[in-house]
Structure 1
Amino acid sequence: MELKTSAVAKRLGVSTKTVQRWVKKYNIPCTKNEAGHYVFTNEAIEQLEKYKFLGVDEEEKEHVEWEEVEQRLDELERKIEQKADDVVSFQLLQHRREMEEMLQYIQQLEQRIIELERQKQTEPIIEQPTKQKRRGIISFFL
């Protein structure tokens, strides 16, 4: 007995597209007629029933699609974590560079302070003349 796709789909309780997809996916042995439509033998129908019995239908397709989505999400999360690590590494290097520049500036300031202290020690001390106190007009006459 040979059946067409629509009859097999009705017998299995699935859509014709599902039957066509199973034929391609699981390499079900069937022939095509002059119009290019699948013609199923009893053996092919039994294999299709087995796949349906095992639960291979639209739910599997959705399950596979969810697995793909989860894999893509995992990959995206990994890329985001890598990017975050790269950003943190760049920021750490930038902060380290800034700290090294500040350390160099502090060292320059320390050297300048030391030089100024040496100059102060070697300079002769010049005494300023002391100013005399002003006395009131009365003391001028006394």
Structure 2
Amino acid sequence: MMEFVSTKEVAQRMGVSPTTIKRWVAFFQGWFQKDELGHYIFSPQDIERLKDIHEQLQQGKTMQAILDSDSTAEKPAKRSEPVHSFHVTDELLQRINQLELQLAKKADDIVSMQILQHRTELEEIRKTVQTLAEDIENIQRSLSRHSERTLASLRETPKASKKKSFISALFSFF
């Protein structure tokens, strides 16, 4: 497998700043490739090409002159797809799958806890309703007994005698 290096590593090897490498790469667009994250990566052939550009610049050539002189030479083929680190990609996919499984399990646990809590609350409500129903029955029985006693006492109370007439009342005083 071909070894690729970063902009920083190329700059260190060549004794220039990473900004200089980035400027060259930006000017000579299409000559260098990017990884899946959009960072430039350099093969040994790319490093040789950068060294050649560096030498020509030190000889006094402009970047446009280097580009023009290279237009007749064969440019490296533009790579349509970035170089993928399949190992890293595979690890990331496995990690994503693990996280999705953990997330699904956590969601199931939360739903289970909510259902259990709802069941507990419903049971408490059912008990409260049952207690209220029993209390209502007791109150109804008590009222019924009270009503029966009141009716019985009303039946047993003798009727008050009719009032004596006014005249008989007057004679009773004499």
TM-score scaled by structure 1? 0.51
- Structure 2 residue corresponding to 1:94, chosen from 109, 120, 124: 124
Larger Rg: 2
Cα 1:103/1:70, change in 2 over 3 Å: same
1:68-104 CA deviation, whole Å, 9 max, x = no partner? 1110000000000000100110011000000000000
- 5+ residue gaps, structure 2, are 6-82, 162-174
Tell me the number of residue pairs that the alignment of Structure 1 and Structure 2 aligns: 85
- Structure 2 residue corresponding to 1:112, chosen from 114, 118, 142: 142
Cα 1:126/1:70, change in 2 over 3 Å: farther
Give the deviation of 1:125 after TM superposition.
Answer: 3.2
Partner of 1:79: 109
Cα 1:12/1:106, change in 2 over 3 Å: same
Give the deviation of 1:60 after TM superposition.
Answer: 1.1
TM-score scaled by structure 2? 0.42
- 5+ residue gaps, structure 1, are 1-7, 15-52, 130-142
Cα 1:126/1:58, change in 2 over 3 Å: farther
Q: Percent identity between the aligned chains?
A: 9
Cα 1:66/1:126, change in 2 over 3 Å: farther
Residues 1-142 of structure 1 aligned to structure 2 (within 5 Å) = 11-13=2-4, 56-123=86-153, 124-125=156-157
